[in-house]
Amino acid sequence: MMVGVSEDRPTPEQDPDDRPGGTGAQPRQRLRLLLAVAGTLFALDLVTKIIVVARIRPGEPVSIIGDFVELVLVRNPGAAFSMATGMTWLLTLIATAVVIGVLRIGRTLRSTLWAIGLGGVLGGALGNLMDRLFRAPGPLQGHVVDFVSVGWWPVFNVADSSIVCGAILLVTLTVFGFEPDGTRYKDKATSTTDSAPAPADEPGPGRDRSAGDATPEDSAAGAAPESTAGKGPGTSATADGKETAA
């Protein structure tokens, strides 16, 4: 007696934890990783800014490695490289949109590296967003605290570094075909090719034909010759059906 398998039991293909974009435990784990990375970087950015504002005076840099690496307090109303200095409110709205977008994507993540990259972007965006919301001269107009000076590179902070490193990681993953759902573009293309149906076998010269598959040649070969019953003596039929005298 055969024991049937319950249809309610999920197969590996049906398991939501194994499906790209599923709602199982794995996406929740990736979201927690994303938030942990973002929270750590946000806290590090906030603490360093508080220390720099309390200990360093504007115009009095602190040397770390000669004149190449210094700590210098700069309040930046614009974006990186001092761009858009007169549009602080717009940069605030953009940072808010980035935070919302990253959180929405993070809910369906299945890739660890994507979670780390997006966590870096989220942590940096939150760090600079806090400055724009709560620092002088006022809400939506706050100046970002920058303090790390390296050579000719513009002065930056921990939040800026987080955004840049996270963005580089995400671009690298995209270039090599790694997607947020944990799959790879090349693997998807290969599986699609492998799942394509094989062409039907063509009948060969020696293939048996079942009933009803006879070809016109078979019908002609198997056709019975026209009966000459009832014909007059001395008559016969030619190949084209005409009667001729014997």
Distance linking the first and last C-alpha atoms of the chain: 76
What CA–CA distances, in Å, run from 44 to 80, 102, 162, 205? 19, 20, 10, 78
Whether 160 is catalytic is yes
Q: Are the C-beta atoms of residues 75 and 95 closer than 8 Å to each other?
A: no
Out of 8, 131, 146, 201, pick the active-site residue.
146
Out of 17, 131, 160, 194, pick the active-site residue.
160
Q: Which residues contact 114 (CB under 8 A, 6 or more apart)?
A: 30, 170, 173, 178, 179, 180
Residue spans of alpha helices (H) in the chain: 25-55, 88-106, 112-134, 158-175, 185-194, 216-222
Which residues are known catalytic residues?
A: 146, 160
